Amino acid sequence: MKHSLAYRTSRLVIALTFVGLTACGSDSPKTQELTLLAYESFTPPAGAFDAFTAQTGIKVTIALSGDAGEMVAKASLTAGNPEGDVMWGVDNTFISRATDSEVFDGEPVAVDYGDVCVNYDIAALAERGIDAPQTLDDLLSSQYASMLVIENATTSSPGLAFLLATIAAFGDDWPNYWEKLIDNDVLIVDSWSDAYYTSFTRYGGDRPLVVSYATSPPAEVIFADPPMAQDAPAPTGVATETCFRQTEYAGILRGTNDPAESQLLIDYLIGKDFQTLLPESLFVYPINADVELPESFNKYAPLISQPFTLASKDIATYREVWLEQWSDIALR
């Protein structure tokens, strides 16, 4: 998950600066470097791993690869012979794919959470004289025809989350909902970045409704160029009754040559120092309860008190069936 307006659209490898002296003696780590695999929007601030390096003598290199769905697919193909040591960002919609493929050595741990929701461009709707939708049923109204862009549920984590929201909301009748949504001329694109930065009206597209995150409004404010006035409202809003709760996980990759050192990195990822960085860099909620949220979240991110959810075991059992049904309806 995850939302960062500094998006990367190609595979990147970012070497973070080594800080501190390498530990020596019998307690020294076997390796001086670990590779952390992550989705393309994993953009922690510079120096995010400096404290870890100073504590352990281990440099962290980040390898970015697509969104969460693409990352899991690649990791599954290399299970047991991984391209890294630890993987960050497998959410609850894809975690069973990773565990079924035996990607991890042991159980992954939760690292953050957030909500996938329909977002809207406030100015664009005002120009059309239309009130913002708030519910999934609202999206079927003819006044929102040709206004919504969503991500492909088979290739995109937020796209799958939106599908799961409709399944949680409508039960066995969800295919009927999707037939009506398709008839209302919803646009389906491959990825979140395509939806948000190409099709959404905020960035020059023609769709004022987009499946994104409940934390997208504070990201819009923080990255506004030129900067917004201090008391200005966010330019986007959230349809708070369309949201699906996502939890992201990190785990040690099976086949790493450095499992003990990788566990040190896992511990660091869920520690307070690193978790404090998450809200205003990845725009997710920290899993560590000791972390206080920044003012930007308190002011601009709506609290989703009743998000749609589904049991992980149900997602694991029925996901492929649901995706096949969805593809027959949405991609025909």
Q: Say which residues have a Cβ less than 8 Å from residue 144's Cβ, sequence separation at least 6.
A: 130, 133, 138, 184, 209
pLDDT at 123: 98
For 248, the token pair is 């992201």
pLDDT at 93: 85
Helix, strand, or coil (residue 314) = helix
Backbone angles phi, psi at 280, to 5 degrees: -100, 15
pLDDT at 18: 32
pLDDT at 13: 34
Distance (Å) of CA 264 to CA 85, 267, 269: 11, 5, 9
Distance CA 4, CA 44 (A): 9
Distance CA 264, CA 226 (A): 40
* Count of positions (residues) in the chain: 332
pLDDT at 28: 55
Domains of the chain: 12-113+246-294 (3.40.190.10), 114-245+302-330 (3.40.190.10)
pLDDT at 149: 98
Q: Say which residues have a Cβ less than 8 Å from residue 275's Cβ, sequence separation at least 6.
A: 111, 112, 269, 286, 287, 288, 290, 291
pLDDT at 24: 37
DSSP for 229-266, written as a single string: PTTPPPSEEEEEEEEEEEEEEEEEBTT-S-HHHHHHHH
pLDDT at 229: 85
Per-residue pLDDT of the chain (332 residues; tens, 9 = 90+): 545 443 333 333 333 333 333 333 345 557 799 999 999 889 899 999 999 999 999 999 999 987 888 899 899 999 999 999 999 999 998 888 899 899 999 999 999 999 999 999 999 999 999 999 999 999 999 999 999 999 999 988 899 999 999 999 999 999 999 999 999 999 999 999 999 999 999 999 999 999 999 999 999 999 999 998 878 999 999 999 999 999 999 999 999 999 999 999 999 999 999 999 999 999 999 999 999 999 999 999 998 999 999 998 899 899 999 999 999 999 98
Q: Which of 39, 58, 40, 41 is nearest to 49 (CA)?
A: 58
Model pTM score = 0.82
Enclosing H/E stretch for 116: strand 109-121
pLDDT at 277: 96
Distance CA 307, CA 162 (A): 11
Count Cβ atoms below 10 Å from residue 7 Cβ, excluding itself: 14
CB environment 119-155: b (16+ within 10 A), e (fewer):
bbbbebbeeeeeebbbebebbbeeebeebbbbbbbbb
